[in-house]
Amino acid sequence: MAPSFGEMEPAEAESVYFNEYPPPKALPKHEALARAFVELHVEDKRRVVLVTSGGTTVPLETQTVRFIDNFSAGTRGATSAEYFLEQGYAVIFLHRQYSLLPYSRHYSHSTNCFLDFMDEAPPTDASADSDHGRIVVRSEYQDAMRDVLRKYRYAKQHNRLLLLPFTTVAEYMFELRSLAKIMQPIGANALFYLAAAVSDFFIPRSRMAEHKIQSSELPAHFQKDNSVGAEEIYTGENEEKPANSKKLVINLDPVPKFLHRLVDGWAPEGSMVVSFKLETDPSLLVYKAQTALQRYSHHLVIGNLLSTRKWEVVFISPDQPERWIRVPKSRRSKSISGVEDQVGLAEAMKGEKGPDTQTD
């Protein structure tokens, strides 16, 4: 039996994994954009952060109808990117397509549709015809929206924000590897802030169905075209066929852990690498985050629990094995769209006002 990725040396796992998949179609275009972005900011000696954000998918079919998704709205990544921009960084924002984006996040994916922020202005003499009335932002949102708009425009006009989307875990891996290598000239001014929720399990391409997996038996004359059926693919060579053939048994392999390769090979010498760890069981969080730091020897792991991620995180670094940052209830803010966001946490992390502040 072929060795699994977990049994291979990191460099071997890299070569096997990246040889198995064709690079994403958008990769050459993204690489060209990233190269130009990096060149510009290296010239200006600006710090550049690669923020990863949103969840990766694991397709079940090559022509994908179904896929397994990973939890993440992109709030952490998009909010953090805004704070990095405010601190003078240029940001490469590698994000799950259609997840939250810096600045526009204030007006999208919320319970309010963006149209709820708008109104028709009362007709003036010049536009007495109500069909041609001006559209304006409602008065109660003017200040907050002006603030967001100005920051957004500044980032755009000064070329500080590069948005690059991914969907599948394979696309994410290709993009991450390429971007890290392209960032080489940035040296110690480069930061990797890996907030994306990356799938831990996947179906290797060699075992993936080409077409939509069928849920019912097909007549014999279709069998050939659909020979790569769900059972054959997913139950694996040594497993028994399910007694009930309507069951879909999915056999997933572990995704190779490329943090090793990022830290030891792809990322520029002297750059800083920050990863995130998400857990649901509070008793595991610190242990898992500490283990990740030991395993990959990078600079910082930020641990968070699914249920409290917006209000508390734990920093695990070589200097400090466990440091909690908590936002007290009184400082848990609402974004202007009414959706809870992480401004309080980001402020606490930035200003160090709240380490070990009790959640009340």
The answer to whether 339 touches 111, Cβ cutoff 8 Å, is yes
Among 30, 41, 76, 106, which residue interacts with ligand PAZ (rule: CB under 6 A)? 76
Among 195, 233, 262, 267, which residue interacts with ligand PAZ (rule: CB under 6 A)? 195
Q: How far is the CB of 233 from ligand PAZ (least distance, A)?
A: 26
Q: Which is nearer to ligand PAZ, 59 or 74 (CB)?
A: 74
Site string for ligand PAZ, 19-58 (x = CB under 6 A): ----------------------------------------
Among 197, 259, 293, 301, which residue interacts with ligand PAZ (rule: CB under 6 A)? 197
Task: Determine if 255 is a binding residue for ligand PAZ (CB under 6 A).
Answer: no
Choices 13-21, 67-75, 159-167, 345-353 (CB under 6 A): range interacting with ligand PAZ: 67-75
Task: Determine if 276 is a binding residue for ligand PAZ (CB under 6 A).
Answer: yes
Assigned token pair, 302: 């930020």
Q: How far is the CB of 61 from ligand PAZ (least distance, A)?
A: 24
Between helix 75-86 and helix 343-351 the angle, nearest 10°, is 40
Among 56, 57, 72, 80, which residue interacts with ligand PAZ (rule: CB under 6 A)? 72
The full 3-state SS of the chain, as one line of letters, equals CCCCHHHCCHHHHHHHHHHHCCCCCCHHHHHHHHHHHHHHHHHCCCCEEEEEECECEEECECCCCCEECCCCCCHHHHHHHHHHHHCCCEEEEEEECCCCCCCHHHHCCCCCCHHHHEEECCCCCCCCCHHHCCEEECHHHHHHHHHHHHHHHHHHHCCCEEEEEECEHHHHHHHHHHHHHHCHHHHHHEEEEECCECCCEECCHHHCECCCCCCCCCCHHHCCCCCCCHHHHHCCCCCCCCCCCCCCCCCCEECCCCHHHHHHHHCCCCCEEEEEEEECCHHHHHHHHHHHHHHHCCCEEEEEECCCCCCEEEEECCCCCCEEEECCHHHCCECCCCCECCHHHHHHHHHCCCECCCCC
Site for ligand PAZ, residues 278 to 297, rule: CB under 6 A: 278
Choices 30-38, 70-78, 159-167, 185-193 (CB under 6 A): range interacting with ligand PAZ: 70-78
Q: How far is the CB of 267 from ligand PAZ (least distance, A)?
A: 18
Amino acid type, 254: P
Q: Which is nearer to ligand PAZ, 211 or 323 (CB)?
A: 323
Q: How far is the CB of 342 from ligand PAZ (least distance, A)?
A: 7
Q: How far is the CB of 279 from ligand PAZ (least distance, A)?
A: 7
Q: How far apart are CA 360 and CA 358, in angstroms?
A: 6
Among 304, 314, 337, 348, which residue interacts with ligand PAZ (rule: CB under 6 A)? 304
Choices 74-82, 101-109, 147-155, 261-269 (CB under 6 A): range interacting with ligand PAZ: 74-82
Q: Which is nearer to ligand PAZ, 160 or 277 (CB)?
A: 277
Q: Which is nearer to ligand PAZ, 38 or 339 (CB)?
A: 339
Task: Determine if 277 is a binding residue for ligand PAZ (CB under 6 A).
Answer: yes
Q: How far is the CB of 4 from ligand PAZ (least distance, A)?
A: 20
Q: Which chain residues interact with ligand PAZ by CB under 6 A?
A: 72-76, 195, 197-198, 276-278, 304, 309
